[in-house]
Amino acid sequence: PKKHMPAHLWNQRYDANMRQYLMNTQDRKSQEDYFCAQSCGAAVDWLGQNANGNPFMLWIDMFDPHEPWDAPERFQKMYRDEYPYERYLFGYGVRNADIRPDDLPVIRDLYAAEVTFSDYCIGRLLKRVEQLGLMDNTIIVFSTDHGTHLGEEGCVQKTPGLLNACVTRIPLIIKHPDKRFAAKRIDGLVGAVDFMPTFLALLGIDDYKNMDGGNMWKLVTGQVPSLHENVYTVFNKFGAIHNLDWHYFQNVASKSLGKGPCLYNLRTDP
């Protein structure tokens, strides 16, 4: 592992994690052997075998962009010609306190390459959906479980004890066959709790009244401006409250970050 990371970032926890990762990927020979490509490839195969006119639900875990940010070389070279190491592996175990300002440009390029590779894999999947004639009767949803820091607040990676918008504000893209709503951007507040009620409603199933979440499609159609006054995030001993004007998070345990409760005015400090 010391061959893949600057000495000032190396520690025993990183060493153990990277040894495991290197062992797990030692048989990788081509771009198709990467986790993201395998996941999308399996989904493409499944669609070919099961897209027979019957309703289906397919959930795909892309794995990426997730640490270690280790995209195929051709994607990394889209962002810089040369990296400090032949295979620069930034991942779990690195302490934020050890990261220097001059480390960040490389780390950000590694992350960008991983995102671009993920985008490429998703493109393959969408192309297959189109080839099978499914675009006009299929709802496609893209989202994730959390965001990441790329130097904000002096941190890299998700840093669970620091539940700011870098971590809690996540992408949500819904592609609906009804093209009246194409390219529409919504500013109202929704959360993961709203996913299931929304999907049920889009399928014509209204048996979600006793669920905590709501139908976020009402924001798209203009029926309501927002589903929630506040959105809450909880992880272990950490919590955050987010609305359109303010973001508050409380860091209880990780004193090494030097932060107590934090309140941001999103109108003046987005």
Mean pLDDT of 128-155: 93
**Model confidence band, residue 252 (pLDDT cutoffs 50, 70, 90):** low
What values do phi and psi take at 239, rounded to 5? -150, 155
Q: Residue with structure tokens 């969408």?
A: 126
Which pLDDT value is given to residue 160?
67
Cα torsion 153, 156, 158, 162 to 10°: value is: -20
Mean pLDDT of 249-268: 73
Q: Which of 101-115, 194-208, 240-254 is predicted least confidently?
A: 240-254
**Model confidence band, residue 220 (pLDDT cutoffs 50, 70, 90):** very high
**Model confidence band, residue 212 (pLDDT cutoffs 50, 70, 90):** confident
**Model confidence band, residue 262 (pLDDT cutoffs 50, 70, 90):** confident
Mean pLDDT of 239-264: 77
Which pLDDT value is given to residue 91?
82
Rounded Cα distance between 174 and 194, Å, is: 13
**Model confidence band, residue 232 (pLDDT cutoffs 50, 70, 90):** very high
Which pLDDT value is given to residue 100?
92
Measure the CA angle with vertex 39, ends 37 and 44; round to 5°.
90
Q: pLDDT tens across 42-71, in order?
A: 999 999 999 888 999 999 998 899 999 999
Overall pTM surpassing 0.75 (yes/no): yes
- Whether the pLDDT of residue 234 is over 90: the answer is no
**Model confidence band, residue 181 (pLDDT cutoffs 50, 70, 90):** confident
- Whether the pLDDT of residue 256 is over 60: the answer is no
- Longest pairwise C-alpha distance within the chain: 57
Say if CB 208 and CB 196 are below 8 A apart: yes
- Whether the pLDDT of residue 119 is over 80: the answer is yes
Is 59 exposed, middle or buried, given 0-12, 13-18 or 19+ CB atoms closer than 10 A? exposed
**Model confidence band, residue 259 (pLDDT cutoffs 50, 70, 90):** low
- Whether the pLDDT of residue 112 is over 60: the answer is yes
